[in-house]
Amino acid sequence: SGQPPIGVNNTNGPLDRVRADSSDRELTTNQGVPVADNQNSLKAGLRGPTLMEDFILREKITHFDHERIPERVVHARGSAAHGYFESYQDLSALTRASLFSAPGKKTPVFVRFSTVAGERGSTDTARDVRGFAVKFYTDEGNWDLVGNNIPVFFIQDAMKFPDLIHAVKPEPHNGIPQAASAHDTFWDFASLMPESMHMLMWAMSDRAIPRSYRTMQGFGVHTFRLVNAAGDSVFVKFHWTPLQGTHSLVWDEAVKISGADPDFHRRDLWEAIEAGEFPEYELAIQVFTEQQAESFPFDVLDATKIVPEELVPLQPIGKMVLNRNPDNFFAETEQVAFCTAHIVPGIDFTNDPLLQGRIHSYLDTQISRLGGPNFHEIPINAPVAQVHNNQRDGMHRQTINRGRVAYEPNSLGGGCPFQAGRMKGFTSFPQPITEDKVRGKPELFADHYSQARLFWQSQTPVEKTHIIGGFRFELTRVQVPAIRERMLSMLVNVDETLAAAVAEGLGMD
Ligand code: HEM
């Protein structure tokens, strides 16, 4: 007929092949058969029973019955946007990552912001950590920087993550509370886990009630590596800073907004982008050598520690602009799969034991959330770079691989890819390892209070009042006195005036 196969808006690159626009089209079944009547089921007589034969009704209802997929086990509630990252300079002295190879180089991104504890329908302005996950569709494959809006984390080792999340999620017997940390189980765990103290200070501060996703910082949290073409490596921390400034709500506002508009952050992000007020964030790095790291009074592999800017200043390296809302919430925001294992040549992991566990967790959970091993083919997850390998089959396979050879080595050839080699392909940084295989942790991981105190001391008097208010609000909802007492004894180690002010609010001074 001369028409394109599906109604298509030829607007935005590679996703156009899967964009559908049904305006002015005939309604069809999934087999493309035109549907004459979309109002009435097929019956034996106008007042008779519905017929098993009604394949149109059954297809429609069956599809509806399976519309929901499991929500993310954490970070279930989120909002996302498309945009681009623009590199300020040529960073090839530090990294061979192609997205940083030239000033002005642009890389498409998809960014999802989220709360952690709440369910998919929970309120946006709950006191919680926020996820800040960026997928860079680089020309050498996807790089995901799966960060948070707080630069440290509750625990040091992935072994404890299921316990942390079981403690923070609604209590299993009654499903209360749905979207806040104010309950016995969370504070029970926290009060037995002194390594969480630094993160708890941030979580009780204004940082945990951001005003908007547009005014929120982001952090890679872990120490990562940059590796250049010669194979030299430095350590790096990643920081996103919103160019509109970092702003928070106050608790009273957050509570009221939560009732009046549970979509407050989602709506704000959507409407700003629709209005052409594109959110912008600068990416900065802290770069330091392994030798420098050895001189720090903390361990850079410990995710409960920051690297203070007095020790290593921030170096801005690029800017991210979010300029397009998704076309479809489910297809993009819900089905996107971020993963710390998605790194590209020029970026590498460190031995941070929290990061090491995350490398496993994301792919594993997504196999169940997104129905099998082929979710990398879902358009929002597919890289802009081409994919060629010998992986085959599995649930929902889309790619039609051709030829009879799907193994290597082979002598029959015929469409089989070859390995890229060290110069082009991803190569792990060859870090020497000579130690005993043990469970345990380094000595410096045991300092749980110095940086919590540093954070407290960095706050203005008003911010300090808010932190005291946060602890008071949360701990007054804890029923078990021993948990409150344990928390107070942790707070004494941070600052005595802080502990005394919280104790007074609890009637325990
Ligand atoms: C989401 C595991 C620590 C940031 C998730 C998901 C899992 C997970 C299973 C759901 C993924 C999905 O269904 O697509 C873990 C484990 C951790 C850990 C095992 C520790 C061992 C962290 C840390 C950060 C973080 C330290 C921040 C630096 C995020 C973000 C998301 C997420 C931003 C949401 C991604 C999205 O928007 O889809 N995590 N996580 N996680 N995690 Fe973690």
Q: How confident is the model at residue 111 (pLDDT cuts 50, 70, 90)?
A: very high
Annotation says 148 is catalytic? yes
> Average of pLDDT values for 353-370?
98
Q: Most distant CA pair in the chain: distance in Å? A: 85
Residue 421 is predicted with a pLDDT of 86
The closest residue, in CA terms, to atom 24 on ligand 1 is 147
In the reported structure, the alpha carbon of residue 222 is separated from the centroid of ligand 1 by a whole-number distance in angstroms of 13
Is residue 202 a contact partner of residue 150, using CB atoms and an 8 Å limit?
yes
Q: Which residues contact 316 (CB under 8 A, 6 or more apart)?
A: 88, 282, 283, 284
pLDDT at position 9, please?
41
Per-residue confidence (pLDDT) for residue 416, from 0 to 100: 83
Query: Tokens for 55?
Result: 């394949």
For 63, the enclosing helix (H) or strand (E) is helix 55-65
Residue among 75, 82, 376, 448 flagged as catalytic: 75
> Which ligand 1 atom is the nearest neighbour of the CA of 355?
21
The model's confidence at residue 12, banded by pLDDT at 50, 70 and 90, is low
Alpha-carbon gap, residue 165 to 217, rounded angstroms: 23
pLDDT, mean of residues 403-427: 87
Label residue 335 by pLDDT band (50, 70, 90).
Answer: very high
> Tens digit of pLDDT for each residue in 199-234?
999 999 999 999 999 999 999 999 999 999 999 999
Q: Is the CB of 78 under 6 A from ligand 1?
A: yes
Q: What percent of the chain has pLDDT over 90?
A: 90
What is the per-residue pLDDT across 373-390, written as a single tens digit (0 to 9) for each? Answer: 999 999 999 999 999 999
With 60 as the cut, is the pLDDT of residue 6 above it? no
Q: How far is the CA of 167 from the centre of ligand 1 (A)?
A: 16
Distance 353 CA to ligand 1 centre (A): 14
**What pLDDT does 8 receive?**
38
What percent of the chain is predicted at pLDDT more than 70?
97
Decide: 244 in ligand 1 pocket, CB within 6 A.
Answer: no
Query: What's the average model confidence in pLDDT over 452-458?
Result: 98
Q: Residue 131 has which token pair? A: 């996820």
Which residue has better confidence, 284 or 2? 284
Whether 178 shows a pLDDT value over 70: the answer reads: yes
Provide the residue type at 93 as one letter: A
Q: How far is residue 450 CA from its own chain's centroid?
A: 28
Q: Is 47 exposed, middle or buried (0-12, 13-18, 19+ CB in 10 A)?
A: exposed
Pocket mutation for ligand 1, best pick of 146, 339, 359, 368 (most atoms within 8 Å of C-beta): 146
pLDDT of residue 76: 98
Output the pLDDT for position 136: 98
Asked if the model's pLDDT at residue 188 lies above 60, the reply is yes
pTM (2 d.p.): 0.95
- Which of 185, 190, 201 minimizes the C-alpha distance to 160? 190
| Reduced DSSP (H G I as helix, E B as strand, rest coil) percent helix, strand, coil of the chain, to 5 | 30, 15, 55
Q: Is the pLDDT of residue 11 over 90?
A: no
Dist. CA 441–CA 113, nearest whole Å = 32
- The mean pLDDT of 294-310, rounded to a whole number, is 98
What average pLDDT does range 50-74 have in this prediction?
97
Give the ipTM of the model, two decimals please.
0.94
- Report helix, strand or coil for 74: coil
Element (H, E) at 321: strand 315-324
**179 has a pLDDT exceeding 80:** no
**Bond prior to 177 in cis (omega within 30° of 0):** yes
Residues 6+ apart with CB under 8 A from 336: 80, 110, 112, 135, 380, 381
Q: Is 131 in the pocket of ligand 1 (CB under 6 A)?
A: yes
Give, for ligand 1, the residue of 142, 362, 375, 378 to mutate: max count of ligand atoms closer than 8 Å to Cβ.
362
In this prediction, residue 414 carries a pLDDT of 72
pLDDT the model gives residue 20: 87
